[in-house]
Copies of this chain bind each other. A is one copy, B any other.
Amino acid sequence: MNALQEKILKEGRVLPGGVLKVDGFLNHRIDVAFLDEMGRELARLYSGEKIDKILTIEASGIGIACIAARHFGNCPVVFAKKSKTSNISDDFYCAQAHSFTHNKVSDIIVSREYLSAGERVLIIDDFLANGSALDALISLCRDAHAEVVGCGIAIEKVFQGGGDRIRERGVRVESLAMVSEMSDTSISFKD
């Protein structure tokens, strides 16, 4: 998606430790109109596929998932939680994920009642780096015997290898921008 590449070049900043800071439009301040265009593009990529549910993970995935859902016939969005709060039941699927930006491993959970056998699920997230969050979300779907139609990612950092590893397992992964290299002074994309 050229518009996203341009936005990353214009507004993104590379921070130490391989962090691409795009919190001006994607994961702190949300540019709702732009995310709507990204949602439209994800729907185009997955047109022809029946999608029953969008699955994402708190917190940064929720915005793009909810905005994209509009382009998937307002299908429901379920977000995996990173901690058990008092308002969720004790009956949940659980998987472990390592967060790149938080630098910690945490359990992620989804109530069993919100992920069902046979459902066709599209997984949406803002970033794909080492693929740990995506692995965990795919694992939750498999535990529920739901079918992962594919993944829709805003920005994939190709050089961290998660996307290729997951594709090699036969899971469809579509990323709207694929960053192949980045440094303090430049960001390159794989088309």
Residues on A facing B (Cβ under 8 Å):
15, 17, 19-24, 27-33, 35-36, 58-59, 62-63, 66-67, 69-70, 74-79, 81, 83, 85-89, 100-103, 110-111, 113-114
Residue from B17, B78, B113 within 8 A of A30 (CB atoms): B78
Q: Is the CB of B59 within 8 A of A86?
A: no
CB distance from A49 to the nearest CB of B (A): 18
CB distance from A74 to the nearest CB of B (A): 4
Residue from B59, B102, B110 within 8 A of A79 (CB atoms): B59
Residue numbers in B under 8 Å from A74 (CB-CB): 32-33, 36
CB distance from A189 to the nearest CB of B (A): 19
Residue from B19, B78, B110 within 8 A of A87 (CB atoms): B19
Residue numbers in B under 8 Å from A111 (CB-CB): 23, 28-29
Residue numbers in B under 8 Å from A102 (CB-CB): 83, 85-86
Residue numbers in B under 8 Å from A88 (CB-CB): 21, 23, 28
Q: Is the CB of A28 within 8 A of B79?
A: yes
